């Protein structure tokens, strides 16, 4: 649950930055990655919904869809970083986050299989 809470916190935190029009995040998304300005708040909303949905207990179908959405989001983030020409760390940052999402998913499935609390 600690890893899942960490992933959810990071997702909600960055979603909040997109929604409050944080200048640095908007600059990276718009100028470095080339996202249009109208899509950035939508990314923030989907980040917040994804993070919150990971924390809802006893709804396995919702969490499966949330993990699928996070995975697609991170794959597209990796693709955007590779094509933007940023630094090597920026390119593999989504892959590092994907490792935490995968660990959260696997541990959550093990907990559910053993009929623990979630």
- The pLDDT, as a whole number, for residue 116 is 54
What pLDDT was estimated at residue 25?
Answer: 77
Closest CA to 70 of 37, 92, 46: 46
pLDDT below 70 — which residues of the chain?
86, 115-118
> Rounded to an integer, what distance in angstroms lies between the CA atom of residue 89 and that of residue 104?
22
Residue among 36, 44, 31, 47 nearest 85 (CA): 31
Residue-level pLDDT at 102: 92
Please state, in angstroms and rounded to a whole number, the distance separating the CA atoms of residues 32 and 94.
15
Q: What is the pLDDT of residue 86?
A: 67
Predicted TM-score (pTM) of this structure: 0.77
């Amino acid at each position: 649950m600690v890893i899942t809470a960490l992933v959810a916190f990071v997702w909600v935190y960055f979603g909040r930055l997109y929604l409050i029009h944080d200048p640095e995040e908007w600059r990276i998304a718009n100028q470095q990655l080339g996202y249009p300005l109208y899509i950035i708040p939508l990314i923030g909303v989907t980040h917040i919904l994804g993070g919150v949905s990971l924390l809802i207990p006893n709804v396995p179908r919702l969490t499966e869809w949330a993990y699928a959405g996070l995975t697609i989001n991170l794959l597209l983030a990796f693709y955007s970083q590779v094509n933007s020409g940023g630094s090597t760390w920026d390119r593999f940052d989504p892959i590092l986050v994907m490792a935490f999402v995968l660990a959260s998913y696997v541990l959550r499935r093990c907990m559910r299989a053993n009929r623990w609390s979630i």
